[in-house]
């Protein structure tokens, strides 16, 4: 069994469920990153509560795919990148993993940009200076803290983001009847397809599938006993449900806040800075401050996990686990974070940076999804824990839906 960051626990039996919670929350920050903020606020400000169903559907799809990625890590003791290196032809593996590193760079670009926008809101710092400060803070956290410390930091950030939106919802008047209908009733208002594709197509992110298969192993004990493996799989599913459920609640809260604040006043918002500027006269200084702080927490936490994912993917190319003390993992983190920051300096418009990042994700995501399904459906890789026929059909269906949405989103940009 490999050692996660050199500190894999060696207990002979798994701890209780609450001690297992954590890996799913690190994945959740990618589900509530600045890119999702922009899409959710656009959805709520333009269409009120009618597009809340997107959050429900995207969360269901996300649970299935992340659950599948975590199973790969638990059963094989390898992350998605390592498994691809071992079980796929070298040229296929290189295409998938090198483009996945590119997708991690693209993701990190959007996350660093989000934190920089928040710093601009809070302290009027230029975006480029804010990007450098974000890069510095994130690299310090990644290179000087153990996984356990980073996990606690992320959980703290996610908790603060959730509390921030509870505050925002508490000070606005929501139509809860309309919201309840919106969560479960698909609707396609005129002109809404681009927003729908943006939310549904960008929820499942390539780096999160790689990350989940790696970090789930921080909770892995002895795998020789079948009853322990089964308990691990059960605990993982509980952690994934809890974490993705929290992501569903936070994303829903963004749409609720935008619907109650902007849609009701007939104000269309398509930019995070515009949303913050509009909140102050509508809801007061406190609401604007809380919004900016929550965005900062989201940008920082998702930047950390994007760097970890990049390190995991790059190390996996060399058939190695993620270990920040190892040179390949360090190189992967730096190859993810530094180019992402440099690209921000080359692009004059933050909006353009977010568009370009989503375009690259749209191209790469199908490669990662279908690589995952191929590996987890293989008896050679998973043994008796390979996907069932029904599970395989479900995953292929979700993969095709997400792929079609991302291709459509890409074509809309082109």
pLDDT digits (tens, 9 = 90+) for 119-142: 999 999 999 999 999 999 999 999
Token pair of 106, please? 């693209």
Lowest mean pLDDT among 12-16, 98-102, 287-291, 330-334: 12-16
Distance CA 271, CA 283 (A): 18
Structure confidence at residue 8 (pLDDT): 43
Give which of 238, 222, 184, 232 is closest to 50, Cα–Cα: 184
Q: Residue 73: which of 246, 305, 235, 245 has the closest Cα?
A: 235
Instruction: Report DSSP letters for 246-283, one per residue.
Output: HHHHHHHHHHHHHIIIIITTT-----HHHHHHHHHHHH
Q: Find all residues with CB under 8 Å of 75, minimum gap 6, and list them.
A: 223, 229, 233, 382, 383, 385
Helices 147-170 + 23-31 axis angle, to 10: 50
More confident residue, 267 or 17: 267
Half-sphere exposure of 33 (CA within 13 A, CB side): 34
Q: How confident is the model at residue 5 (pLDDT cuts 50, 70, 90)?
A: very low
Query: Residue 210 — φ and ψ, nearest 5°?
Result: -65, -45
pLDDT of the residue at 7: 40
Report the share of the chain in percent with pLDDT over 70: 91
Pick from 99, 110, 52, 119: which is nearest to 310 by CA?
99
CA atoms within 13 A on the CB side of 188: 3
Helix (H, G, I), strand (E, B) or coil at 32: coil
Mean pLDDT highest for which of 31-35, 209-213, 407-411?
Answer: 209-213
Instruction: Report which of residues 11 and 259 the model is more confident about.
Output: 259
Read off the pLDDT of residues 251-267 as tens digits, 9 standing for 90 and up: 999 999 999 999 988 88
Long-range contacts of 133-140 (CB under 8 A, 24+ apart): 134/299, 134/300, 134/303, 134/341, 135/337, 135/338, 135/341, 137/300, 138/112, 138/300, 138/303, 138/304, 138/307, 138/337, 139/307, 139/333, 139/334, 139/337
First-residue to last-residue Cα distance in the chain: 46
Q: What is the pLDDT of residues 20-63, one digit of tens each?
A: 777 888 889 888 888 788 888 889 999 999 999 999 999 999 99
Nearest to 193, CA basis, from 379, 409, 395, 20 = 409
- 8 Å CB contact between 131 and 34: no
d(CA 107, CA 109): 5
CATH topology of domain 13-413: Hydantoin permease (1.10.4160)
Cα–Cα distance measured from residue 118 to residue 149, given in angstroms and rounded to the nearest whole number: 24
SS3 of residue 414 by DSSP: coil
340-384 pLDDT, tens digit each: 999 999 887 776 676 677 777 878 889 999 999 999 999 999 999
pLDDT score for 224: 57
Classify burial at 122, counting beta carbons within 10 Å of its beta carbon; exposed 0-12, middle 13-18, buried 19 or more.
middle
pLDDT band at 216 (very low <50, low <70, confident <90, very high): confident
pLDDT at residue 6, as a whole number: 40
CB 253 within 8 A of CB 158: no
Identify the burial level of 287 via C-beta atoms within 10 angstroms of its C-beta, where 0-12 means exposed, 13-18 middle and 19 or more buried.
buried
What pLDDT does 88 receive? 97
pLDDT-based confidence at residue 307 (cuts at 50, 70, 90): very high
């Amino acid at each position: 069994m490999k050692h996660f960051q050199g500190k894999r626990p060696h207990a002979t039996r798994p701890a209780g469920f609450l001690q297992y919670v954590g890996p799913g929350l690190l994945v959740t920050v990618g589900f509530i990153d600045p890119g999702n903020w922009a899409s959710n606020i656009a959805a709520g400000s333009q269409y009120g509560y009618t597009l809340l169903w997107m959050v429900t559907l995207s969360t269901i799809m996300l649970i299935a795919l992340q659950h599948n990625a975590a199973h790969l890590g638990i059963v094989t003791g390898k992350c998605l990148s390592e498994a691809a290196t071992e079980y796929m032809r070298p040229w296929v593996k290189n295409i998938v993993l090198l483009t996945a590193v590119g997708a991690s760079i693209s993701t990190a670009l959007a996350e660093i940009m989000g934190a920089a926008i928040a710093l601009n809101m809070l302290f009027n710092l230029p975006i480029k200076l804010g990007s450098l400060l974000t890069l510095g803070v994130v690299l310090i956290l990644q290179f000087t803290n153990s996984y356990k410390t980073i996990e606690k930091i992320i959980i703290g950030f996610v908790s603060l983001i959730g509390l921030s939106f509870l505050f925002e919802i508490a000070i606005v008047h929501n139509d809860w009847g309309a919201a309840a209908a919106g969560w479960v009733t698909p609707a396609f208002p005129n002109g809404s397809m681009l927003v729908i594709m943006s939310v549904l197509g960008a929820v499942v992110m390539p780096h999160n599938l790689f990350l989940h298969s790696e970090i789930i192993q921080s909770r892995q004990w002895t795998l020789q006993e079948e009853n322990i493996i089964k308990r691990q799989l059960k605990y993982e599913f509980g952690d994934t449900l809890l974490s993705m459920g929290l992501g569903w609640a936070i994303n829903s809260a963004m749409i609720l806040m935008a619907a109650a604040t902007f849609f009701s006043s007939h104000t269309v918002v398509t930019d995070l800075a515009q949303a913050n500027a509009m909140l102050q006269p509508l809801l007061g200084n406190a609401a604007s401050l809380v919004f900016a702080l929550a965005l900062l927490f989201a940008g920082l936490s998702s930047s950390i996990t994007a760097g970890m994912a990049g390190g995991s993917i790059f190390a996996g190319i060399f058939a190695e686990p993620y270990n920040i003390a190892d040179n390949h993992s360090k190189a992967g983190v730096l190859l993810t974070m530094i180019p992402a920051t440099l690209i921000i300096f080359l692009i004059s418009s933050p909006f353009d940076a977010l568009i370009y990042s989503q375009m690259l994700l749209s191209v790469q995501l199908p490669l990662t999804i279908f690589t995952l399904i191929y590996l987890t459906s293989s008896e050679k890789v998973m043994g008796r824990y390979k996907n069932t026929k029904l599970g395989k059909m479900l995953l292929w269906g979700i993969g095709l839906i997400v792929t079609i949405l991302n291709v459509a989103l890409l074509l809309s940009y082109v």
